[in-house]
Amino acid sequence: MSNSRKKLLAELNKDLEWEYAAAIQYVQHAATITGAKFDSIQKELLIHAQEEMQHAAMLSEQIDFLGGTPTVDVEKREISDNSVEMLQQDLAGEDNAITRYRERISQAETLKEYGLRRVLEDILIQEEEHKRDIANVLAN
Ligand SMILES: [Fe+2]
Ligand SMILES: [Fe+2]
């Protein structure tokens, strides 16, 4: 396997760790966020959690398809007892995801892995939606 392919697989596995972390973090935040103005985002955070798990499944399938072994490790989760701070943590997570997937799409493109690129683009679109959902609440 070429070095650039190995590097791509290593980064995809790191993306996968971040997806698991995001799913766990969203479940915890949805359960503990308080305040009437956060009622609708609370439901949205649970939807995000499910979508992050779908991303994890999509990445795992792609990693296996490319000849790697999908990780079961989990990246760092952030918690807070302050609702606004929780949403800031979630926003930072989405920014991180968007940055990482932009890089990954470019790597997939270079390696002519167009199927992978398509999957990553679908994930990126959802991360941008997640970011918008949270940014809208924080702006109010
Ligand atoms: Fe995700
Ligand atoms: Fe997300």
pTM for the whole structure: 0.97
Q: What is the pLDDT of residues 93-138, one digit of tens each?
A: 999 999 999 999 999 999 999 999 999 999 999 999 999 999 999 9
Report the distance separating Cα 4 and Cα 6, nearest Å.
Answer: 5
Cα(51) to centroid of ligand 1, in Å? 6
User: What is the domain count for the chain?
Assistant: 1
Ligand nearest to the CA of 16: 1
Dihedrals phi, psi of 4, to nearest 5 degrees? -70, -30
Angle at 97 between CA 48 and CA 57, to 5 degrees: 60
Q: Tell me the CA–centroid distance for residue 73 and ligand 2, in Å.
A: 18
User: Each residue of 45-83: pLDDT tens digit?
Assistant: 999 999 999 999 999 999 999 999 999 999 999 999 999
What's the pLDDT at 140?
82
Separation of CA 17 and ligand 1 centre (Å): 10
- The rounded Å distance from CA 39 to ligand 1 centre is 22
Query: What is the Å distance from ligand 1's center to 91 Cα?
Result: 12
CATH number at residue 42: 1.20.1260.10
Mean pLDDT of 82-93: 98
- pLDDT, one tens digit per residue, over 3-25 is 999 999 999 999 999 999 999 99
Domain boundaries, position 117 = 3-139
* Least distant ligand from the CA of 59: 1
pLDDT at 96: 98
